[in-house]
């Protein structure tokens, strides 16, 4: 059975960018709900119960058709949130360094230009979804809880949840303010290690 992953930081440690309440509700209610609903579906899928979440959503065609949409939504929701938390740190923000910084400058001209492009695309996601950065530094959107892995793409090195549930407590409908706050939390030093 899948479990809600423990965060590497406390619920109040991303203040003032994410309030304790916003982070706690997002993790302990929204993410937990995906885990619970995924586990409920998995009860009907004993042959998949030993597989990792990455394996399951990469191979959605192995899921019997009647359960496939549920696994895509709840499994994708569990996976997407699990990686999202890892991209954040109380000591985050600023700019990347080393070869990641170099690669961003090569592709986008400057970190600022990359930040503007990523922000513009995050604001442009219609409805609920995610915006991701690929290892080749291309920017890819997924709708709802669709995952990059289900689409045959590599795992993201960075991504942001633009579902309204991610920001309504602190930012109401204001996704732009939420995205601006999120840049202050990006765990660049961890992301550099994954390259
Ligand atoms: Mn969310």
Please report which confidence band the pLDDT of residue 137 belongs to, taking 50, 70 and 90 as the band edges: very high
- 162-173 residue pLDDT tens: 999 999 999 999
- Cα(98) to ligand 1 centroid in Å equals 30
Q: How far is the CA of 102 from the centre of ligand 1 (A)?
A: 31
CA nearest to 88, candidates 9, 195, 194, 154 = 9
Q: Give the other-Cβ count within 10 Å of 9's Cβ.
A: 17
Give the bridge partners for 139, in sequence order: 133
What's the CA-to-centroid distance between 161 and ligand 1, angstroms?
Answer: 6
Contact 186, 156 (CB under 8 A): no
Residue whose structure tokens are 């992301």? 191
pLDDT in tens, 37-94: 999 999 999 999 999 999 999 999 999 999 999 999 999 999 999 999 999 999 999 9
Q: Does the model's pTM come out above 0.85?
A: yes
**CA 30–ligand 1 middle distance (angstroms):** 6
Domains and their CATH numbers in the chain: 20-86 (1.10.287.990), 98-193 (3.55.40.20)
């Amino acid at each position: 059975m899948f479990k809600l992953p423990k965060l590497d930081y406390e619920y109040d440690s991303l203040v003032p960018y994410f309030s304790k309440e916003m982070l706690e509700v997002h993790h302990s209610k929204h993410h937990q709900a995906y885990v619970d609903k995924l586990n409920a579906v998995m009860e009907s899928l004993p042959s998949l119960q030993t597989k990792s979440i990455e394996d399951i959503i990469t191979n959605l065609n192995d899921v019997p058709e009647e359960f496939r949409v549920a696994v895509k939504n709840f499994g994708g929701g569990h996976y997407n949130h699990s990686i999202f938390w890892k991209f954040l740190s109380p000591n985050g923000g600023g700019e990347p360094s080393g070869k990641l910084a170099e690669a961003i400058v090569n592709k986008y001209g400057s970190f600022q230009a990359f930040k503007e492009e990523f922000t513009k695309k995050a604001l442009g996601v219609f409805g609920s979804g995610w915006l991701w950065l690929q290892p080749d530094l291309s920017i890819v959107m997924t709708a709802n809880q669709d995952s990059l892995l289900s689409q045959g793409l590599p795992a993201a090195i960075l991504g942001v949840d633009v579902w309204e549930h991610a920001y309504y407590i602190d930012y109401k409908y204001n996704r732009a303010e939420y995205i601006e706050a999120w840049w202050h939390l990006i765990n660049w030093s961890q992301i550099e290690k994954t390259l």
